[in-house]
């Protein structure tokens, strides 16, 4: 953090001026730790420009599913995306790994009911990163370019989860995320599918769900970190020619979707790299948040029109392009992800009830 200079009202002696000047220069130095404060106005590098919304609510052939339409573009201001890598710093969102069996951290809270693998943001979440290859895209860890892209996803994941931790704290709750696969190798996987999963339709849910159940011992990892939730991020090494935006499938799509995962297509729509705001947006879907930029079974057209008219900055309505997230985490978002049990807008606009109160 940089400190602004202080204006002096009068000239003092040469010696005193020299002392003051030395102090001023000292104050002007950056934080020795070099650690940015997540989403701090002083460090915010976000462009403030929005990109097309990064979630498509896929249709499903499963029973009790929510039928939705193709993603609608919202406030698409195209800017040339940069692949410049940002170094990831240690953050409070990275919960400490238990050092021994006698770790004093509280055990996961008893759960009554069923909300999929991701329940409430008020708790500890294990994030599994799966670098997936399919018939259309591949990962090559021996490639320096691909290795750097993987590192970029980790940096974006840090920024996205930092944002969520901060926003949840504003509601008097605690959210922590176990995600750092550089430190904990049981959080990173590679997968290869004989299918095309870069698609805007959710008809391949079972393919990815079955892969998770066969390859990840989720219960063991959750027990290791005393975690309450698990989410799975599938990363696909798409290039700019890809026209499919990232999207998520989970309990809000179908009550039988017990494995909740996000498909992150790292590049899309000619110029965009999926930014940290997209990561936060998608993870929130796993916990029950709904898209607000198009009418669906949960959100009526009247509320979508209201968001458009008022220029909503809600992260479930629009996401900003840039390394720092400047979108709003609203009371409505808090209600849908299980932080509160009431939101005036739900009754006012006839919005769907939170899955956490069903």
Q: For residue 114, what pLDDT is reported?
A: 78
pLDDT of 322 reads: 92
Each residue's pLDDT tens digit, 159-173 = 999 999 999 999 999
Q: 3-class secondary structure for 84-144?
A: CCCCCCCCCCECCCCCCCCCCCCCCCCCCCCCCCCCCCCEEEEEEEEEEECCCCCCCCCCH
Report pLDDT digits (tens) over 172-212: 999 999 999 999 999 999 999 999 999 988 889 999 999 99
**Whole-number pLDDT of residue 141:** 85
Note the pLDDT of residue 64. 34
CA proximity to 318, closest of 301, 339, 333, 296: 333
pLDDT at 17: 40
Given a contact cutoff of 8 angstroms between Cβ atoms, the answer to whether 133 and 237 are in contact is yes
The residue behind tokens 């860890």 is 141
**Is the pLDDT at 106 greater than 80, yes or no?**
no
Q: Which of 222, 321, 241, 211 is nearest to 275 (CA)?
A: 321
Sign of the alpha-carbon torsion through 90, 94, 99, 102: positive
Point out the least confidently predicted range of 37-41, 156-160, 238-242. 37-41
Query: Token match 């879907």: residue?
Result: 285
Kindly report, residue by residue over 61-101, the tens digit of the pLDDT. 333 333 333 333 333 323 323 333 333 333 334 433 333 33
Q: Nearest-CA neighbor of 319 among 308, 310, 331, 328?
A: 328
Q: Give pLDDT, residue 264.
A: 98
Sign of the dihedral through C-alpha 199, 204, 209, 211: negative
Q: Would you state the pLDDT for residue 118?
A: 96
pLDDT digit string, tens, across residues 135-144? 999 999 899 9
pLDDT number for residue 133: 98
Of 30-44, 229-243, 264-278, the range with the lowest mean pLDDT is: 30-44
């Amino acid at each position: 953090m940089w400190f602004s200079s202080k204006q002096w009202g009068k000239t003092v002696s040469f010696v005193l001026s020299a002392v003051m000047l030395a102090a001023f220069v000292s104050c002007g130095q950056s934080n020795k730790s070099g650690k940015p404060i997540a989403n701090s106005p002083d460090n915010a590098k976000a462009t403030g420009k929005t990109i097309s919304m990064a979630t498509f609510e896929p249709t499903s052939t499963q029973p009790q599913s929510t039928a939705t339409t193709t993603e609608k573009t919202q406030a698409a201001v195209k800017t040339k995306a940069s692949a410049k890598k940002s170094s990831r710093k240690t953050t409070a969102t990275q919960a400490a790994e238990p050092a021994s069996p006698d770790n004093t951290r509280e055990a996961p809270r008893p759960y009554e009911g069923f909300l999929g693998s991701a329940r409430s943001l008020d708790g500890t979440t294990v994030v599994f990163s799966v670098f997936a290859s399919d018939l259309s895209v591949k990962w090559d860890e021996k490639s320096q370019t691909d290795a750097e892209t993987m590192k970029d996803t980790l940096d974006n994941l840090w920024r996205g989860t930092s944002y969520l931790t901060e926003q949840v704290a504003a509601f008097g709750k605690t959210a922590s995320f176990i995600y750092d696969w550089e430190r904990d190798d049981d959080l990173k996987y590679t997968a290869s599918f004989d299918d095309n999963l870069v698609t805007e339709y959710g008809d391949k849910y079972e393919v990815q769900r079955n892969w998770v159940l066969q390859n990840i011992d989720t219960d063991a990892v959750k027990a290791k970190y005393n975690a309450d939730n698990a989410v799975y991020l599938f990363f696909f090494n798409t290039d700019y020619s890809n026209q499919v935006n990232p999207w998520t499938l989970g309990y809000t799509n179908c009550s039988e979707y017990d494995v909740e995962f996000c498909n992150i297509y790292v590049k899309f729509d000619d110029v965009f790299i999926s930014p940290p705001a997209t990561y936060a947006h998608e993870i929130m879907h796993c916990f029950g948040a709904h898209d607000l930029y198009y009418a669906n079974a949960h959100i009526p057209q009247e509320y979508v029109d209201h968001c458009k008219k008022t220029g909503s900055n809600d992260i479930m309505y629009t996401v900003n392009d840039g390394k720092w997230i400047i979108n709003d985490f609203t009371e409505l978002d808090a209600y849908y992800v299980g932080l509160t049990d009431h939101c005036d807008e739900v009754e006012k606009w006839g919005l769907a009830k939170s899955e956490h109160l069903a």
